[in-house]
Amino acid sequence: MHHHWVQASPSDFGGTLPQARSGHTAVNVGKSKVVVFGGLVDKRFLSDTTVYDIENRLWYRPDCSGSGLDGQVGPSPRAFHISIAIDCHMFIFGGRSSGKRLGDFWVLDTDIWQWSELTSFGDLPSPRDFAAASAIGNRKIVMYGGWDGKKWLSDVFVLDTISLEWTELSVSGALPPPRCGHTATMVEKRLLVFGGRGGGGPIMGDLWALKGLIEEENETPGWTQLKLPGQAPSPRCGHTVTSGGHYLLLFGGHGTGGWLSRYDIYHNDCVVLDRVSVQWKRLSTNNEPPVARAYHSLTCIGSRYLLFGGFDGKATYGDLWWLVPEEDPIAKRLSASPRNISERKDESQIDASRISELQKRFQIDVSFSTTKIYVIEESEDTELLEVASQVIGSASTTEQAAQALREHWRKSTATSITLKEISPLLRDYQRLITRRYVLKDGFNLQSGSETHRFYHMKNISQLRMDDIANLLAEYKQIG
């Protein structure tokens, strides 16, 4: 089972992408859309709703209506809440806003994009953040643990989404240590809980199963600690566990750095819990994973997974990544993507991904004049040809398609350039510079050169929005 990590390309999506964040939720609704809600960036809590329409590959922000008990349209800004989809409804409970733990309860009807604050009944859960929850079938939700601002919790609540009644589950026997920042995932008739941060602050790597959640089974609710064979994940919290096919996929999170370190260690490994053989396995990925992070989201879309956002102790991320099987068309992009190559090995040659990592971590500009760019030919640039066919229709040859698209770009303005055009535009800009200056004169362009400042960019993730106008202006000058 080989998989590839591939950073999402602008050609994968249309519309308005969600802004960087961590502590958000992203849930599948009816296999047709992914709904992202809330989160935290730069100490600012968010309350926006952004939707990915799977079939149309389109991100958009729905215009939500609704009414809360205090008259507000939707939930107040928050992060580290729970969010569960049942049919076309997304239920939200709790979370944190600034230093306050929340205990309010909301539902979003994603057919008409209407929020309702719910008056619930029964044994109401206390306000909390960092709890974990899962759907039981298509009617009930189970929630376990969290942090109420004073203590770690180990209570289990079941919500009936029809009657809106909460029931605290009375569990006999051994109980897992209280925790927050863990995951809780229903697998057949059991709730599997992994990891989290516990009382006194240790980060845990234990796995527990809770039975007695399915009424028809008439089982007495009880916890069992599971010790499974294979390479178990290291202790962590803030990770994700995503269900896909016959396995659960665990990604990311953070753990302690040990006695000698004051800092947490952030993870970017993938560990699979195989439900058939009931053992842990490392997921075989054939390339570099995304930067290590926690409090991200990982959503299953068919045979693909979509990673978004997260936090690594210093930076909050807004990048989107695909994790796909090796036979997926997205994986084929890796062999056709432009690579940085050098004519001679030099001590100052540093892998471009490490440069990017340094820039993120230390917020510095790292430029190496010895690095040269290799750009693929037009005939191999599938994104360029795809955009050309959309913009100017069919052309008899690749050269004619490229020339027509170049003419279109020379007449375009920055505001008229679509998201899908930016990546092929950057590559064509580098292609033209390479042919006209580098190959012709043996001229080695400096990364910081005012005239060709985008030449050394590895991909468009390094562009800021206000760079697009400058890139287009330079492109027109080259032509």
What DSSP line would sit under 347-369, residue for residue? TT---HHHHHHHHHHH------T
Q: Residue 415, exposed/middle/buried by CB under 10 A (0-12, 13-18, 19+)?
A: exposed
In this prediction, residue 348 carries a pLDDT of: 34
CA torsion 351-352-358-360 (nearest 10°) is -150
Domain identity same for 194 and 279: yes
User: Among 22-36, 383-397, 458-472, where is mean pLDDT lowest?
Assistant: 458-472
Task: Check whether 448 has a pLDDT greater than 50.
Answer: no
- Distance (Å, whole) CA 134 – CA 476: 53
Please report the pLDDT score of residue 344 as a whole number. Answer: 31
Burial (CB count within 10 angstroms: exposed 0-12, middle 13-18, buried 19+), residue 360 = middle
DSSP 74: S
Strands 270-274 and 247-251: antiparallel
Last residue of a domain, one of 336, 360, 387: 336
Residues 182 and 131 occupy one common structural domain:
yes
Nearest C-alpha neighbor of 108 from the set 83, 71, 133: 83
One domain for residues 315 and 345? no
CA distances, 99 to each of 41, 133, 237, 326 (Å): 15, 22, 20, 44
Residues 275 and 377 in one domain: no
**Separation of alpha carbons 116 and 118, rounded Å:** 6
Q: Residues 321, 370: one domain?
A: no
Instruction: Convert the pLDDT of each residue in 280-329 to its tens digit.
Output: 999 888 788 999 999 999 999 999 999 999 999 899 999 999 999 989 99
- 105 membership: H or E segment, kind and range: strand 100-109
Q: What is the pLDDT of residues 347-387, one digit of tens each?
A: 333 344 444 544 444 443 333 333 445 567 888 788 888 88
Higher pLDDT, 175 or 284: 175
Query: Looking at 311, 336, 361, which one is the last position of a domain?
Result: 336
DSSP-assigned states of every residue in 178-206? PEES-EEEEETTEEEEEEEEETTS-EEEE
Tell me which of 416 and 183 has the higher pLDDT.
Answer: 183
Q: Please tell me whether residues 361 and 287 are part of one structural domain.
A: no
Give every CB contact of residue 261 below 8 A, 6+ residues apart in sequence. none
What are 412-437's pLDDT values in tens digits? 888 888 888 888 888 888 888 877 76
Count the Cβ atoms, other than its own, within 10 Å of residue 227. Answer: 7
Residue 56, pLDDT above cutoff 70: yes
CATH number of domain containing 170: 2.120.10.80
Nearest of 6, 13, 33, 8 to residue 324 by alpha carbon: 6
Query: Are 22 and 304 in contact, with CB atoms under 8 Å apart?
Result: no
pLDDT band at 139 (very low <50, low <70, confident <90, very high): very high
Does residue 411 carry a pLDDT above 50?
yes
Range of the domain at 451: 340-478
The three-class DSSP label of residue 50 is: strand
Q: Are residues 243 and 363 in the same domain?
A: no
Backbone angles phi, psi at 356, to 5 degrees: -60, -40
Q: How many folded domains does the chain comprise? A: 2
- Percent of residues, the chain, with pLDDT higher than 90: 56
Are 443 and 422 spatial neighbours (Cβ–Cβ below 8 Å)? no
Distance CA 222, CA 185 (A): 16
Q: Are residues 252 and 272 in the same domain?
A: yes
Q: Nearest CA to 133 among 155, 112, 108?
A: 155
Do 78 and 200 fall within a single domain? yes
- Of 178-192, 208-222, 279-293, 376-390, where does mean pLDDT reach its minimum? 376-390
pLDDT at 186: 96
pLDDT, one tens digit per residue, over 11-38 is 888 898 999 999 999 999 988 999 999 9
Q: So what's the pLDDT on residue 437? A: 67
Mean per-residue pLDDT, 39-62 = 95
Confidence (pLDDT) at 374:
59
Global pTM? 0.71
379 and 453 share one domain: yes
Structure-block tokens of residue 457: 């960019």
The average confidence (pLDDT) of the chain is 85
Sign of the CA dihedral with 290 first, then 293, 299, and 302 last:
positive
Average pLDDT of the segment spanning 333-337 = 64
- pLDDT on residue 285: 84
What confidence score (pLDDT) does residue 443 get?
45
**Do 447 and 456 meet the contact criterion of CB atoms below 8 Å apart?**
yes
Predicted pLDDT at 268: 95
pLDDT reading at 338 higher than 60: no
Instruction: Name the amino acid, one letter, at 358.
Output: L
SS3 421: helix
Most confident of 155-169, 379-393, 395-409: 155-169
Placement of tokens 């302690």 in the chain: 256
pLDDT band at 69 (very low <50, low <70, confident <90, very high): confident
Using the predicted structure, report yes or no on whether residue 90 has a pLDDT greater than 80: yes
Match 């605290």 to its residue by tokens.
Answer: 168
211: enclosing H helix or E strand: strand 203-211
Among left, alpha and beta (phi > 0; psi -120 to 50; other), residue 231 is beta
Average pLDDT over residues 123-130: 96
Question: Looking at the predicted structure, is the pLDDT value of residue 93 above 60?
Answer: yes
Quick one: 313 and 183 in the same domain? yes
- Phi first, then psi: what are they for 469, rounded to 5°? -65, -40
Q: Which of 291, 310, 336 is the last residue of a domain?
A: 336
Beta pairing, strands 304-308 & 320-325: antiparallel
Same domain flag for 113 and 257: yes
Cα distance between residue 253 and residue 231, in whole Å: 17
